[in-house]
């Protein structure tokens, strides 16, 4: 009897212990924040550990006798700003790999400036589309007598003058954005509206010039299908060997054969003494440096069957005689006395230009590689970063 009781008591104790284990054993499937997974970022370069983010909570008195943990890794993307102070090296040479220890690399060295403080795409040429600003072009003095005045202006083409807008993009230069007829803003007389470009270098072999042009200038009847083209427009050039002392402006003849949209007798007219020409004594603002008899200038209505309805033409000029020199372009719109004559067309918008290009256009885009030093507690490393410069 005694032996049976002792055996039963031992069996009951084992059963109670086993039951207690079944009742109180915990299976934990979440972290302390209540989520089934947790992301841990190691940021502290001093220790590279994190013993808090992945913590778990257990009931009091429990111990871990088995655990499973699935660990996954993934890269993180971080924003970073690095400043290169171009004032540290004179003349912008901080961009030149010769002076910066090879930190910079080019897709093509000729595509970038390396001697200016701001990094830019460049080429053996000059271009201006007037979209972001007036591109450094300057208008001459106001013409006329207040309140009747007119002049070149940098403006948008969304008006009643340019029904199809500017030639390239939204902005361009023109002689009267406010009125559909520039003659209404000027008293009868002789006036010259001038627009001058900043200086640039004409590289040998890169002297082809082109620009977009729209013109509608005063002209009068001289009989059936006969006209006199009193007002005119043309381009002149100042040049310099040192980019300081510029010669007087001289007429730059239009390349009639390469121009598209207008042609001889249809937007282009010669100076001369006959009808359907620009009369002698007109277009004489530059005197002997200006267009002479037989030269072609812009006159009359420049909207033709070739460029209708927008009226914009692509005009070409050869600047070869100015190769190897710095130049400034001067766009001249001459207004001459009307002397009581009525225009053939009642609305004459004036002269508008856009998209000036000389030589090679800049590349559309190009990568520029720059190396930045990223330091860690393990070792420093040069990490190449690249910047892509692009323009339309």
Q: Summarize pLDDT for 310-341 with one digit per residue, the tens.
A: 999 999 999 999 999 999 999 999 999 988 88
SS3 content of the chain, % helix, strand, coil (to 5): 10, 30, 55
Mean pLDDT calculated for residue range 144-166: 87
Mean pLDDT rounded to a whole number for the chain: 80
Q: Count CB atoms within 10 A of the CB of residue 250.
A: 16
| Highest-scoring range by mean pLDDT, 58-67, 95-104, 311-320, 353-362 | 311-320
Phi first, then psi: give them for residue 177, nearest 5 degrees. -80, -15
Note the pLDDT of residue 152: 97
In angstroms, rounded to a whole number, what is the distance separating the alpha carbons of residues 319 and 327? 10
Lookup: tokens for 295: 């030269």
DSSP lists the bridge partners of residue 102 as none
Chain Cα centroid distance, residue 313: 23
DSSP 309: T
Closest CA to 192 of 115, 124, 283, 268: 283
Note the pLDDT of residue 11: 46
Distances (CA, A) of 278 to 214, 219, 314, 318: 18, 9, 22, 23
Find out whether 282 and 325 touch, Cβ atoms under 8 Å: no
DSSP lists the bridge partners of residue 121 as 112
Q: What is the dihedral of CA 109, 112, 114, 119, to 10 degrees?
A: -150
In angstroms, rounded to a whole number, what is the distance separating the alpha carbons of residues 277 and 227? 7
Note the pLDDT of residue 31: 77
Closest CA to 123 of 381, 378, 365: 365
Q: Count CB atoms within 10 A of the CB of residue 227.
A: 17
Does 291 or 380 have the greater pLDDT score?
Answer: 291
DSSP 260: B
Percent of the chain with pLDDT over 90: 51
- pLDDT per residue as tens digits for the range 205-258: 999 999 999 999 999 999 899 999 999 999 999 999 999 999 999 999 999 999
Chain Cα centroid distance, residue 264: 35
Q: Is the pLDDT of residue 376 over 80?
A: no
Number of continuous H segments (helices) and E segments (strands) in the chain: 1, 23
**pLDDT category of residue 88 using cuts at 50, 70 and 90:** low
Note the pLDDT of residue 111: 66
Lookup: tokens for 221: 């009847």
Q: Is the pLDDT of residue 107 over 70?
A: no
In angstroms, rounded to a whole number, what is the distance separating the alpha carbons of residues 324 and 48? 62
**pLDDT category of residue 14 using cuts at 50, 70 and 90:** very low
In angstroms, rounded to a whole number, what is the distance separating the alpha carbons of residues 331 and 212? 13
Q: Count CB atoms within 10 A of the CB of residue 178.
A: 13
DSSP 110: G
pTM (predicted TM-score): 0.68
- pLDDT per residue as tens digits for the range 254-274: 999 999 999 999 999 999 999
Domains of the chain, with CATH numbers?
A: 123-359 (2.60.120.200)
DSSP 87: G
Give the DSSP letter string of 119-187.
--B--SEEEE--SSS-TT-EE---EEETTEEE--EEEES-SSS-TT--SSSSEEEES-SS-S-GGGGS-
Distances (CA, A) of 200 to 35, 95, 136, 153, 249: 66, 22, 11, 21, 15
Q: Is the pLDDT of residue 359 over 70?
A: yes
Note the pLDDT of residue 62: 74
Closest CA to 137 of 194, 208, 191: 194
Note the pLDDT of residue 389: 47
Does 8 or 333 have the greater pLDDT score?
Answer: 333
Q: Is the pLDDT of residue 93 over 70?
A: no
């Amino acid at each position: 009897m005694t032996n049976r009781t002792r055996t039963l008591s031992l069996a009951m104790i084992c059963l109670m212990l086993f039951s207690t284990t079944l009742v109180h054993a915990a299976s934990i499937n979440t972290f302390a924040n209540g989520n089934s997974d947790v992301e841990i970022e190691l940021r502290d370069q001093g220790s590279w550990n994190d013993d808090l983010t992945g913590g778990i909570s257990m009931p009091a008195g429990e111990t871990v006798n088995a655990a499973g943990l699935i660990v996954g890794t993934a890269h993180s993307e971080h924003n970073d700003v690095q400043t290169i102070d171009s004032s540290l090296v004179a003349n912008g040479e901080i961009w030149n790999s010769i002076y910066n220890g090879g930190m910079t690399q080019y897709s093509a060295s000729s595509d970038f400036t390396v001697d200016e403080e701001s990094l830019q795409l460049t080429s053996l040429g000059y271009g201006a589309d007037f979209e972001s600003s007036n591109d450094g072009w300057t208008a001459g003095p106001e013409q006329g007598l207040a309140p009747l005045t007119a002049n070149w202006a940098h403006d948008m083409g969304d008006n009643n003058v340019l029904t199809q807008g500017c030639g390239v993009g939204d902005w361009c230069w023109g002689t009267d954005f406010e009125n559909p007829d520039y003659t209404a803003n000027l008293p009868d007389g002789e006036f010259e509206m001038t627009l001058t470009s900043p200086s640039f270098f004409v590289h040998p072999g890169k002297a082809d010039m082109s620009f977009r042009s729209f013109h509608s200038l005063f002209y009068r009847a001289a009989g059936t299908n006969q006209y006199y083209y009193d007002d005119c427009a043309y381009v002149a050039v100042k040049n310099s060997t040192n980019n300081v002392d510029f010669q007087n402006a001289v007429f730059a003849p239009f390349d009639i054969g390469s121009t598209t949209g207008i042609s001889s007798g249809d937007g282009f007219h010669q100076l001369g003494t006959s009808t359907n020409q620009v009369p002698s004594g007109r277009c004489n603002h530059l005197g002997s440096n200006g267009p002479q008899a037989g030269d072609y200038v812009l006159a009359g209505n420049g909207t033709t069957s070739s460029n209708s309805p927008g009226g914009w033409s692509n005009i070409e000029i050869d600047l070869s005689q100015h190769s190897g020199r710095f130049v400034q372009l001067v766009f001249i719109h001459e207004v001459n006395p009307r002397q009581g004559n009525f225009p053939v067309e009642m609305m004459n918008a004036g002269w508008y230009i856009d998209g000036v290009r000389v030589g090679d256009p800049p590349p559309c885009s190009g990568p520029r590689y720059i190396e930045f030093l990223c330091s860690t507690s393990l070792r420093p490393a040069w990490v190449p970063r690249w910047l892509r410069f692009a323009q339309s």
